[in-house]
Amino acid sequence: MDPVTSVSPIPEEGIDRKHKLVIFASSLGTVFEWYDFYIFGTLAAFFGKLFFPAGNETAAYLSSLALFGVGFSVRPFGALVFGRIGDLVGRKYTFLVTIMVMGLSTAVIGFLPSFATIGWAAPIILVLLRLAQGLALGGEYGGAATYVAEHAPHGKRGIFTSWIQTTATLGLFLSLGVIGTTRLVMDAEAFNRWGWRIPFLFSFVLLAVSVYIRLKLQESPVYLEMKAQGNHSKAPLTESFARWPNAKLVLGALLGATAGQGVVWYAGQFYALFFLMATLKLYFIDAYALLSVALVIGAALLVFFGWLSDKIGRKYIMLSGFALAVLTYPTIFGGLTKAVNPALAHAMEQSPVTLHTTDYHGMAKLTLEAVADAATKIVKPAPPTKTIDQARAYLNAKGIPFDLAPATDPSVPLALEVDGKIITGFDAKAYDAAFAESLYSKITVTSADGKIVAADPEAVQRPKVILLLSILLAYVAMVYGPIAAYLVELFPTRIRYTSMSLPYHIGNGWFGGFLPLIATSICVYTGNIYAGLYYPMAIAAMSLIYGLFFLRETKDLDISR
């Protein structure tokens, strides 16, 4: 029997067992693909010293974040390539290609020699593998969301596509679990030397499972029906982006939905993790454990808001998430500082550190050019040369926040002020002595064996941290839970895969994926540990304003059009 005519329609009362199995298999494969993508981000702090030359530690850390962002930079191109294939050939076979590319490129990282072994070839190969990951993920999400939505009955697309939304969170959860377990069962020296490769090599196992799952999938009934009627697009790229009515929808989806969703997603999960570990000095076991608890709560909220969007609509749930992020991010991250490292919060309040510099007026103009300048060291990290750069590198390495201010004496280019003391120029020994007598000497403690330097674990208010992280993830759920259904409903079937994939991956790949690098660069440049939040707040505000006036509600639209 012809497979096109043999596909049964989806029951109006709900998805039958066969379709539920298909959606489960699709979602599970996507979890593994997100795991592959995010173990890179979770281990980003290790790559600076492994795959880049020794030198400025802060610049090396920015290098690792930039390398994390490289995978996001090509996601829109993956959306174009695989989106076109998905609209021309079908959803199922595109899945197989993307999972193979992702799994293999991730696993190969586990064998890659370090900079000490092969020099600059190491970061070059790593960048190429990261680019392959980004291309694969660029083709994955649009297909998974489209595939699930086209299997779902009318009125339930929000809740069923929300299971696809949980895959990113569960993939991060799985990556934290594998990495945390690996770090627990081996000593720190062995993990730093070779143990970090284990999570990457584990991708071989997940790849085998994923391919097996994907081979069992059936093609989307909506796609098959469209193809049987001869209505599929022969030029999906042209129809999607060269014809204004659809291109206008693509632009609106980016500015009013996916850009804001991208920064809220990465601020609430990845940047929060970096903030806990790199800024607040929370021990990695605590950071992984606390975020993992919040991720479980967040995954449930994703499904809830997907379900709710079927009842009341998608648009205003997403816009509410943007508004809450803009209004409350500084309060939430300030609360995390007090709950994780109260000694740091107390020192910042009682004993602020100020760098007085004659370069202040030029430095105060924080522009994208300045952020780019902070990130240029990703190309070739080198020790800072100017005294202001040396002082800033010292303070950043010690985890000491500071303010920039004009020089009080024009003849003194640089002066550090702490606890009423003034130290002119940059003198590391004088800085050490000044901070040893200040409140900042208490922002970290050393373990009994002398191997762990971190925030005092006895002072961490774990329930409060989980609550604050869960609030961040509630915002993630509000903007991310309904968005797959929203994007699927926005575009016609013949060009849906291509049309929805591009704005999604620009919003998440460019606006969201580079958030850790941009936000951290702003913090490093200004000395203000909260200054990086201005970036996601600005983008979320843009999406809120644009979406409020120009986005339309989609929940009742017919997706078979």
Domains of the chain: 3-340+457-550 (1.20.1250.20), 345-442 (3.40.30)
pLDDT in tens, 293-324: 999 999 999 999 999 999 999 999 999 999 99
Confidence of residue 205 (pLDDT cuts 50, 70, 90): confident
Q: What pLDDT score does 235 carry?
A: 67
Residue with the bigger pLDDT between 24 and 106: it is 106
445 membership: H or E segment, kind and range:
strand 445-446
Is the predicted pLDDT of residue 260 greater than 90, yes or no? yes
Q: What pLDDT score does 423 carry?
A: 94
CA 486 to chain centre: 21
Beta strands, E only, 43-187: none
Per-residue burial over 455-464, b if 16 or more Cβ lie within 10 Å, else e, is: bbeeebeeee
29-to-103, 207, 214, 485 alpha-carbon distances in Å: 11, 9, 7, 19
Interstrand relation of 354-357 and 421-424 (parallel, antiparallel or unpaired): unpaired
In the block, which residue shows the tokens 């120009």? 550
How many CA atoms lie within 13 Å of 307's alpha carbon, on the beta-carbon side? 6
pLDDT in tens, 490-501: 988 778 878 888
Q: Are 319 and 552 in contact (CB under 8 A)?
A: no
How many CA atoms lie within 13 Å of 4's alpha carbon, on the beta-carbon side? 9
Residue with the bigger pLDDT between 52 and 274: it is 274
Interstrand relation of 354-357 and 403-406 (parallel, antiparallel or unpaired): parallel
Q: Are 530 and 402 in contact (CB under 8 A)?
A: no
Q: Average pLDDT for residues 416-420, to the nearest whole number?
A: 92
Confidence of residue 209 (pLDDT cuts 50, 70, 90): confident
Q: What pLDDT score does 48 carry?
A: 63
Is the predicted pLDDT of residue 359 greater than 90, yes or no? no
Q: Average pLDDT for residues 495-509, to the nearest whole number?
A: 84
Q: Are 256 and 547 in contact (CB under 8 A)?
A: yes
Q: What is the pTM of this model?
A: 0.83
Is the predicted pLDDT of residue 14 greater than 60, yes or no? no
How far is the C-alpha of 126 from the C-alpha of 106, rounded, in Å? 10
